[in-house]
């Protein structure tokens, strides 16, 4: 039997009825496993509120694994160090250029390490800030001021950055917002319901945008 290339694996995956999302498992010591209830809650919200048919079961996948091509949308989070080997950086680059989407949500303290590692993945591209007029902020729910602020962190304004392949946004980095904390079970952070709702609505916009692009 002929072995499928990563691109063909991705195309086959996109034709499946129910698509499973995953959390990215990376090296370096950062807690990639933070916010364990976040992604399942976002999936449930999307299925009930915007009509997606995502698999309620979510997974974790290593950066360098060929299994990464099974997932159309991958979430990455954590508080600390991030490290990609050259092989892992190449695998992630191929995944993204083949149609995959990566959402990176800084849970606090990840940003300086992440920027260094993303330079390995895309040495020829830089993170670009997304203005409030970008369509990702008005997919299903309207955020006229751009990325919402969920947790204070350093008190800086929330920012959304992207890496593009021509006009396609293939990587979104959300900074000083902490959407993932807002997706977690209510008892974890005791966020007001309106704050959690903003986080889930923005997450649904990201899902909707990625699957439409």
Buried b (16+ CB within 10 A) or exposed e, 100-120: bbbbbbbbbbbeebbeebbeb
Q: How many Cα atoms are found within 13 Å in the side-chain-facing hemisphere of 56?
A: 5
pTM: 0.90
List of residues 6+ apart from 10 with CB closer than 8 A: 69, 72, 95, 98, 99, 100
pLDDT along the chain (213 residues), means of 10: 40 56 96 94 96 94 97 94 97 97 94 96 97 97 96 84 96 96 86 93 97 84
Task: Indicate which CATH number applies to the domain containing 54.
Answer: 3.40.50.12140
Residue 1 lies in a domain: no
Q: How many domains does the chain have?
A: 1
How many residues are there in the chain?
213
- Burial (0-12, 13-18, 19+ Cβ within 10 Å), 137: buried
- Domain carrying residue 83: 6-212
The predicted structure's pLDDT at residue 151: 77
- Burial (0-12, 13-18, 19+ Cβ within 10 Å), 40: middle
Residue 197 lies in a domain: yes
Tell me 108's DSSP state: S
Residue 83 lies in a domain: yes
The predicted structure's pLDDT at residue 21: 97
DSSP states of 124-157 as a string? T---EEPPTTSGGGGSSS--TTSSPP-S-TTSPP
């Amino acid at each position: 039997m002929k072995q499928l290339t990563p691109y063909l694996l991705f195309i086959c995956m996109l034709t499946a009825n129910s698509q499973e999302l995953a959390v990215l498992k990376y090296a370096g010591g950062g807690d990639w496993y933070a916010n364990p209830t976040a992604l399942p809650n976002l999936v449930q919200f999307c299925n009930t509120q915007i009509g997606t048919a995502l698999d309620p079961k979510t997974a974790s996948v290593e950066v360098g694994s060929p299994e990464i091509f099974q997932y159309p949308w991958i979430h990455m989070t954590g508080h600390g160090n991030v490290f990609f080997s050259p092989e892992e950086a190449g695998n992630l680059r191929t995944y993204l250029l083949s149609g995959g989407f990566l959402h990176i949500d800084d849970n606090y303290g990840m940003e300086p390490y992440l920027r260094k590692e993303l330079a390995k993945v895309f040495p020829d591209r830089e993170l670009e800030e997304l203005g409030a007029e970008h369509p990702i902020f008005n997919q299903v729910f309207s955020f006229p001021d751009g990325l919402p602020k969920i947790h204070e962190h350093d008190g800086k304004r929330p920012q959304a950055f992207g890496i593009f392949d021509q006009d396609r946004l293939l990587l979104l980095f959300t900074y000083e917002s902490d959407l993932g904390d807002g997706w977690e079970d209510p008892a974890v952070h005791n966020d007001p319901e309106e704050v959690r709702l903003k986080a889930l609505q923005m997450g649904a916009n990201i899902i909707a945008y990625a699957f439409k692009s």
